[in-house]
Amino acid sequence: MRTDQYQGHDYYLMDELLTDEHKLIRDAAREWVKKEVSPIIEEAAENCKFPQHLIPGLASIGAFGPYIPEEYGGAGLDQIAYGLIMQELERCDSGLRSTASVQSSLVMYPIWKYGSEEQRMKYLPKLASGEWIGCFGLTEPDHGSNPGGMTTNFKDMGDHYLLNGAKMWISNAPFAQVAVVWAKNEEGRIHGIIVERGMEGFTTPTMHGKWSLRASDTGELIFDNVKVPKENLLPGRSGLGGPLSCLDSARYGIAWGAIGAALDCYDVALRYSQERMQFNKPIGAFQLQQKKLAEMITEITKAQLLTLRLGQLRNEGRATSSMISMAKRNNVDMAKTIASNARQMLGGMGITGEYPIMRHMMNLESVITYEGTHDIHLLITGMDVTGFDAFK
């Protein structure tokens, strides 16, 4: 196993735009990742298992609900701090970031934004400390890009709701204690419902056979006449805009996270190019390899600027969903291209688990698909600039 030598890359001196608190939080996350995760991540990916013993550590660096107010157990940080934590986690592995971003943006966020005060007090502190892990059920076997077509539904039975249906591709599902599930009522209106492990008729089978995001657990959510107490309905919002607003927050985190994956691939390829000798020269001395590295750092720098600006706008409440789509789409695609080129630069060694690049490459196939595919985000931008809705 190689030591994690990552140092970060800041070509346009972006650190000068961060506060001391931002840098402290980022550096703490980086050090924790190097010490606790880098030594075991390859094995976790090989075993296709999320290393659950990392949960308290993730909580300790503020990765669960960084921007949730402290009164609910969150860290009360701003959006840029949230992004920096996601960047450091995904620098190591997209699955690690997935676990944290689902917990923060897809479970804690809707409970904080749309939950009752009782729900906030019951769930948020336990989710922030990692005592409970949550998952987010939107996608169904027949409704992925088009979640509005969902068929999971609940009926009002007087003293409780009766929930039926199935969700698929759900991160954290196999071990989560809590699921925020989106389902239609008898009028066809979408609501969020909190379902807890142990409720009769609720099961979470693991999905097997993934060649991507292997260090994250993915499963189904099956609801077979599940009796859900009425107080578990999120009262603050109905309609598809509820889950989509959570996706805005998670997609923003992914935009930062993808920069982390790209930075790691660049970092490894740069170091390799300075050490690997062929034709009596380091391969970094050849123009073709320099072209790859120069283009990588250019694209990373552009993404860093785009995303920091997005973070400022989110702090001010001025970032639109379309702006977030643009950053998610651009940055994941950028990271995927960099991973592919970095892998080539390592020659045969690039396909082994001795280096993280192949794992990043495979992970990014999930990241470019979930939280809205590459093409869906393009259509969101297209709709925003033309005014024509290609989905209707």
Residues of this chain, 267-306, that bind ligand TGC according to CB under 6 A = none
Cα 84 to Cα 308: distance, rounded to the nearest angstrom: 10
Q: Which of 87, 171 has the CB closer to ligand FAD?
A: 171
Closer to ligand TGC by CB, 203 or 321: give it. Answer: 321
Q: Which does 137 bind (CB under 5 to 8 A by kind): ligand TGC, ligand FAD, none?
A: ligand FAD
Q: How far is the CB of 284 from ligand FAD (least distance, A)?
A: 34
8 Å CB contact between 149 and 142: yes
- Asked if residue 273 lies in contact with residue 289, where contact means CB atoms within 8 angstroms, the answer is yes
Residues interacting with ligand FAD, by CB under 6 A?
102, 135-139, 144-145, 169-171, 213, 218, 366, 369-371, 373, 375-376, 379, 391
**How many residues does this entry show for the chain?**
392
Instruction: Find the shortest distance in angstroms from Cβ 352 to ligand FAD.
Output: 23
Q: Is 200 a catalytic residue?
A: no
List, in sequence order, every residue forming a beta bridge with 229; answer none if it has no partner: 160
By CB under 6 A, the residues from 201 to 240 that bind ligand TGC are 239-240
140 phi and psi angles, rounded to 5 deg: -120, 165
Distance CA 338, CA 263 (A): 9
Beta carbon nearer to ligand TGC, 205 or 229? 205
Could you say whether residue 382 binds ligand TGC (CB under 6 A)?
no
Task: Indicate the pairing of strand 134-137 with strand 178-184.
Answer: parallel
- Segment near ligand TGC (CB under 6 A), from 125-133, 241-249, 264-272, 276-284? 241-249
**How far from the centroid of its chain's Cα atoms is residue 107's Cα?**
12
Q: Are 178 and 218 in contact (CB under 8 A)?
A: no
Nearer to ligand TGC, 76 or 147 (CB): 147
CA separation for the pair 323, 245 (Å, rounded): 13
Report residue 345 as tokens: 């630069």
Give the binding site for ligand TGC (CB under 6 A).
98, 101-102, 136, 138-139, 145, 147-148, 171, 239-241, 244-245, 247-248, 321, 370-372, 376, 380, 391
